[in-house]
Amino acid sequence: MPIKNIVHGQTVTKEKLQRAKELRRDMTPAEKILWQELRGNKLGVHFRRQQVIAGFIVDFYCHKAALVVEVDGDIHDLQQEEDARREKVLSEMGLRIVRFRNEEVEKDLAGVLAKIHNFVVI
């Protein structure tokens, strides 16, 4: 039986849930940096990391703000079509997506957090 998850009305396969757990264990350095600032409701809202939504695993998700935060490394330069398809599906669900490059998180964390904060102020 599929596993229910935090995004209402969806089910998640055991395989997808396992992959999300692996990604939480093996976060990139930039994801680790950002997670330290998002965890524990530090921006006033709750974020989850490596959340499964519509079959996709997003880096960070805030249900209250309907916000997906993605941290992109070089691999995303090679998968722009897939990223666009993914963003279309998530946007059609009413989610907002904001993307940051690894370098942006590592070199301008305050700026990244300010942009995220602007999205989550409800």
pTM of the model: 0.85
Q: Residue 7: which pLDDT band, with cuts at 50, 70 and 90?
A: low
Look at domain 3-120 and name its CATH class.
alpha beta
Q: Where are the domains of the chain?
A: 3-120
As given in the structure block, the two tokens for residue 105 are 């998180």
Q: What is the pLDDT of residues 9-58, one digit of tens each?
A: 677 778 888 888 888 898 999 999 999 999 999 999 999 999 999 889 99
Q: Closest Cα to residue 34, out of 67, 61, 60?
A: 60
Cα 52 to Cα 46, 48, 113, distances in angstroms: 16, 10, 23
Q: What is the pLDDT of residues 102-116, one digit of tens each?
A: 999 999 999 999 999
